[in-house]
Structure 1
Amino acid sequence: MSKRVVITGIGIYSCLGTNLDEVAKALYAGKSGIVFDQQRKDFGYRSALTGMVPKPDLKPYLSRRQRMGMHEPAEYAYMATKEALEQAQLDVDFLEQTETGIIFGNDSTAASVVEANDKVREKGDTTLIGSGAIFQNMNSTVNMNLSTILKLKGINFSLSAACASGSHSIGMGYLMISQGLQDRVICGGAQEINKEAMSSFDGLGTFSVRESEPTRASRPFDRDRDGLIPSGGAATVILESYEEAKRRGAPILGELIGYGFSSNGEHISNPNIDGQVRALRMAMKQAGVTAQQIDYINAHATSTAVGDSSEAQAIFEVYGDQVPVSSTKSMTGHECWMAGASEIVYTLLMMQNDFVAPNINFENPDEDSAKINIISRTQEQKIDCFLSNSFGFGGTNSTLIVKKA
């Protein structure tokens, strides 16, 4: 018999705020975290728009040796995980004595790789790179650093699945616990924010060029959208078996009841409706819920024409025109590898505070978005059960369903 899986802690480090309280207020206010980054423009970017987070100061928490193998993804992930562990009432002494796993979504470490190679070009000597660079450069940088710092003894790997990485990491943690292989898994997603990580995306013409109006540029589902906006940070979700959470007396924020996944098996970058529908239906079947029991959908919608339209069609096919839908990417931009995890955090904050965050900048629907119930202004509403979509390059799809504890 599968075990129940609950959420006992969440943490966030995003362009909406660097802690849960700041982010909850920003979500309710419909506040955008998008800015114009002159450094990108000077570098040669077509679009200088981005979400932005401050560089965290880790000196109060970590030794120099602990910090030397960390670059942006690991730094952000540490801050989010620190907050999540505090909420879950977990400390390093407890983690060292128990079997706790970590599965984190991350799909790039571009800036650290570029910096290491620039140093070699400048000095002509690889021995001058520094011993910490190898741990910064690997895609598993978050897991390597956090598992060591937190003295974790359970499952330990990174999950790379493009913009569904954070969501799949939570899904895999869910499967590990439900099958009795782990009692507790630290899950999440991290995304670096720097010009090195996103130049190839910009070169494809993927990003919005509404540079004169940064906060109005991310427009999921809106007819006049002209591209997505990159963003980043980190989000952490602590998953535990229901029995273990009750034994510890831990807070239970919600129960993860469904994980649906699929692959489109077609174009490497263009989505398709069939793959999304299959992930949606798998998650609902596993959760044992009907379309009518879903109170809110946090859409993947990134503010691209083909992506938003295909998701609107998939949502309409499965849920019709009644369930409230919004994309928090209208405020955050596309947080890429962390998005699937951060959007679980964002929606849990909505659940806790009885509101639906708005899909800001939604002014004119297109043919497909007009068919679904997009919430363009903050809506007071009780949420007992929500669904979150994440889709990525390569045709990977992930859907998670969470119900109130």
Structure 2
Amino acid sequence: MNRVVITGIGIHSCLGTDVNEVTESLHAGKSGIVFDQERKDFGFRSALTGAVPMPDLKGKLGRRDRIGLSEEAIYAYVATLQALEQAKMDEEFISKNEVGILYGNDSSAKAVMEAIDLIREKKDTTLLGSGSIFQSMNCTVSMNLSTIFKLKGINFTISAACASGSHAIGLGYHMIRSGMQEQIVCGGAQEVNMYAFGSFDGLGAFSIREDDPTKASRPFDKDRDGLIPSGGAATVILESYESAVKRGAPILGEIVGYGFSSNGEHISNPNLDGQVRALNMALKQQDTPVEDIKYINAHATSTGIGDKFEAQALHEVFHSTRPYVSSTKSMTGHECWMAGASEIVYSLLMMNNDFIAPNINFANPDEDSAKLNIATKTIEQKFDCFLSNSFGFGGTNSSLIIKKYKP
């Protein structure tokens, strides 16, 4: 089995538009959550959201390529540019190698809604333009990026709710580990517009602590009242160890475990057994002792039942070692389809800069979170192994373990 390493990362989120900005935000415990009056006017119960800037690609990408990009694909494009540059994969290298793409995405609501609205108004489908179909398909990210960057390897989208980005990285890990690919662009993307989140708001899933947006996302806190929607994109370049060393590429970390499971029960409620099985599978993949895990980036979205079950699962598996735990969603909100990828990027930035970002807004533990070693402030500490959890509707669970690279 091949060793699988990470040679490039890119990020575009409410914490910043490149790795330097994001590292600073993580270290400072800076929230990216704001109040959006447009959502309130539109009829949302909660007007809270992550503030993600929209990149301007004019002059950077030709019109022919731009017209097919959905909102989330635009985010993914800029994140992937960053990651490929760091990984030292230029056009010449890509043209001579079968670089693949596995990207997590589970909606393209804005593009669909805009197309339908135009048809209703004009009564003429020909006015949609040639790019509409490529924006509205769920595989909008992988189909656009594979074309723009001229990728020749594996090419499809992972659609697994809020675990999409994590599963994309996990499946990429297995593809490279088994020798089927040498390099894969992996990641997750999430549109941030109102159309993507109306149904979530209708379920009462969002926090209504609108008087102080930066305090609203409260993972593991007893007084949490719901999640905050957010998004953007994160890209992680996976590569076989042999390929990375041969190219002289930077090695940011090594994937040593991917655990997955399905709860097989309720469509939206989590359960303890499924999460524990995913955690144990990740640990057993390459016989990683629980003692090696020094930090856990929890899925914890700031919902009552979700945080409760994850705290119980983490306590069951790690009660003997009590590693530091934090949920970066306290700062970003829930980045949904991208979260499993962005939280790998966030954790890599912490590991490679010797600090653990805080779980901000954690003031009052409940009976389950009190059993965890939750980082309530930035901790200056070296660590060489972390685990990241991602769970989603339909009972899909994913756990990834990353270690610092050692020859």
TM-score (norm 2): 0.99
* Per-residue CA distance 1:352-386 (angstroms, 9 max, x = gap): 11000000000000010001101010001111000
Amino acid in structure 2 at the alignment position of 1:114: M
Q: Distance in 1 between matches of 2:58 and 2:354?
A: 37
Q: Which residue of 1 aligns with 2:51?
A: 52
Amino acid in structure 2 at the alignment position of 1:52: A
Q: Which runs of 5+ in 1 are unaligned?
A: none
Q: Which residue of 2 aligns with 1:282?
A: 281
SS, match of residue 173 in structure 1: helix
Amino acid in structure 2 at the alignment position of 1:328: T
Q: 1:82 deviation in Å?
A: 0.3
Count of residue pairs brought into register by the alignment? 404
Q: Distance in 2 between matches of 1:118 and 1:254?
A: 46
Q: 1:22 deviation in Å?
A: 0.1
Within-5 A mapping of 1:41-190: 41-190=40-189
Q: 1:59 deviation in Å?
A: 1.7
Within-5 A mapping of 1:181-200: 181-200=180-199
Q: 1:331 deviation in Å?
A: 0.1
Does the CA contact (< 8 Å) of 1:103 and 1:187 recur in 2?
Answer: yes
Q: Which residue of 2 aligns with 1:257?
A: 256
Does the CA contact (< 8 Å) of 1:77 and 1:234 recur in 2?
Answer: yes
Amino acid in structure 1 at the alignment position of 2:94: L
Q: Distance in 1 between matches of 2:286 and 2:186?
A: 20
Q: Distance in 1 between matches of 2:111 and 2:162?
A: 20
Q: Distance in 2 between matches of 1:332 and 1:287?
A: 31
Q: 1:178 deviation in Å?
A: 0.2
SS, match of residue 353 in structure 1: coil
Q: 1:61 deviation in Å?
A: 2.0
Within-5 A mapping of 1:256-335: 256-320=255-319, 322-335=322-335
* Per-residue CA distance 1:295-345 (angstroms, 9 max, x = gap): 100000000010001000000000016210000000000000000000000
Identity value in percent = 72
Q: Which residue of 2 aligns with 1:361?
A: 361
Q: Which residue of 1 aligns with 2:394?
A: 394
Q: Distance in 2 between matches of 1:390 and 1:322?
A: 19
**Residue 375, structure 1, aligned to residue 375, structure 2:** yes
Amino acid in structure 2 at the alignment position of 1:337: W
Q: Which residue of 1 aligns with 2:221?
A: 222
SS, match of residue 224 in structure 2: coil
Amino acid in structure 2 at the alignment position of 1:183: E
Q: Distance in 2 between matches of 1:93 and 1:125?
A: 43
Q: Distance in 1 between matches of 2:43 and 2:92?
A: 48
Q: Distance in 2 between matches of 1:318 and 1:279?
A: 11
Q: Distance in 2 between matches of 1:54 and 1:149?
A: 22
Q: Which runs of 5+ in 2 are unaligned?
A: none
* Per-residue CA distance 1:184-240 (angstroms, 9 max, x = gap): 000000000000000000001000000001000000000000000000000000000
Does the CA contact (< 8 Å) of 1:34 and 1:215 recur in 2?
Answer: yes
Q: Distance in 2 between matches of 1:69 and 1:309?
A: 41
Does the CA contact (< 8 Å) of 1:208 and 1:226 recur in 2?
Answer: yes
Q: 1:94 deviation in Å?
A: 1.3
* Per-residue CA distance 1:259-312 (angstroms, 9 max, x = gap): 000000000000001000000000000031111110100000000010001000
Q: Distance in 2 between matches of 1:34 and 1:187?
A: 26
**Residue 337, structure 1, aligned to residue 337, structure 2:** yes
Q: Distance in 2 between matches of 1:158 and 1:62?
A: 23
Q: 1:26 deviation in Å?
A: 0.1
Segments of 4+ in structure 1 off by > 4 A? none
Does the CA contact (< 8 Å) of 1:287 and 1:401 recur in 2?
Answer: no
Q: 1:60 deviation in Å?
A: 2.9
Within-5 A mapping of 1:205-244: 205-244=204-243
* Per-residue CA distance 1:42-91 (angstroms, 9 max, x = gap): 00000000001111011232100010000111100001000000100111
Amino acid in structure 2 at the alignment position of 1:189: G
Q: Distance in 2 between matches of 1:31 and 1:13?
A: 15
Q: Distance in 1 between matches of 2:382 and 2:261?
A: 30
Q: Which residue of 1 aligns with 2:347?
A: 347
Q: Distance in 2 between matches of 1:284 and 1:253?
A: 20
Q: Distance in 1 between matches of 2:317 and 2:245?
A: 35
Amino acid in structure 2 at the alignment position of 1:356: I
Does the CA contact (< 8 Å) of 1:7 and 1:237 recur in 2?
Answer: yes
SS, match of residue 401 in structure 2: strand
Amino acid in structure 2 at the alignment position of 1:366: D
Q: Distance in 1 between matches of 2:380 and 2:36?
A: 34
Does the CA contact (< 8 Å) of 1:101 and 1:185 recur in 2?
Answer: yes
Q: 1:97 deviation in Å?
A: 1.4
Q: 1:93 deviation in Å?
A: 2.1
Q: Distance in 1 between matches of 2:375 and 2:347?
A: 14
Amino acid in structure 2 at the alignment position of 1:258: G
Q: Distance in 1 between matches of 2:96 and 2:285?
A: 33
* Per-residue CA distance 1:93-148 (angstroms, 9 max, x = gap): 21111100000000000000000010001101111111100000000000111000
Q: Distance in 2 between matches of 1:65 and 1:47?
A: 37
